[in-house]
Structure 1
Amino acid sequence: MGALKEMAAYDLGALVLNEVVKRAGVDPVQVDEVILGQSYQSGEYVNIARMSLLKAGWPDSIPGITLDRRCCTGLDVICFAAMMIQSGNADIIVAGGVESMSTTEFYIPGDIKWGIGGRKGMPRGHGDLSIWGIPFYDRIQRARVMSQPEERYGILPS
């Protein structure tokens, strides 16, 4: 996959965190919060912000928050950090994003032979409803429900 495929995401995050404070001339003790965005958290990488700051050797008194908004996570992390500073809840926040597509878990349901929805009509993964499937499936179902009056009665929904 790539030169960094064997490197854990939190190891890479730790390197970046230490380089950021070094370049900014800030002691990690002064950091009020670490906020990182990561879209594909897995069992090994939950709360990548906290794991990265601890791996970097920063004080364990610094909280770490991980946000996941898929396509807009990077912008949300910056906005979240700005709001904390504007509200007076923090002075120095390290905010950014991290992803490791080489280590992303991807589950394929056992009943895939029945199609994407499986036998029960709902995308499934790892024994439970898949995180990515629910909003997508919900939109499809809403579109079907909204189009039924048109198809059945030839009228537009109000």
Structure 2
Amino acid sequence: GSASSKFKATQVLGESAAGIFSAAPPEYVQRENHEQELEAREVEARARVFGELLWRSRESVPPPDFAIVADEEFGATFRAELYVFVLKTQADTLKEIRVWGPRRSTVQEARKDGCELKRVAFETAQDDTGELLELRARAKALHATEWAPADLVGEEV
């Protein structure tokens, strides 16, 4: 047969740690949830503004954003990866589309590409259903763009 023993939390964890499994008072949880909800709304509101541009699309459609990705496959290069969400009207569902910038030797150049792509997305993709023609054209044009050192300073780098 098997033997089992029951232990109290204080016997296993000690007096000071035993309380970590007890439920927090409901008013504390509600206050914490409310604060997190307010913080999330503030972050969302800031994400819907890019310079002087405003993301006015439906609230269910997140604004575009980008990340810088290290591309080790081709040496030490970096690329901007822009995320754009479009609403597919026939199914009323969101679709994520990723647009890549060119490979760059510095993070600053890739960030500048990302800002350029994000600006075009804010200007043209709000009511787009997935073609993103202007955005794709700008991404293609960036492949021929050489950034001057003066272009790589300021808020958009």
Q: Which has the larger radius of gyration?
A: 2
**Taking structure 1 as the reference length, what is the TM-score of the superposition?**
0.23
Which one has more relative contact order, counting CA pairs under 8 Å at least 6 apart? 1
* Greater strand fraction, Structure 1 or Structure 2: 2
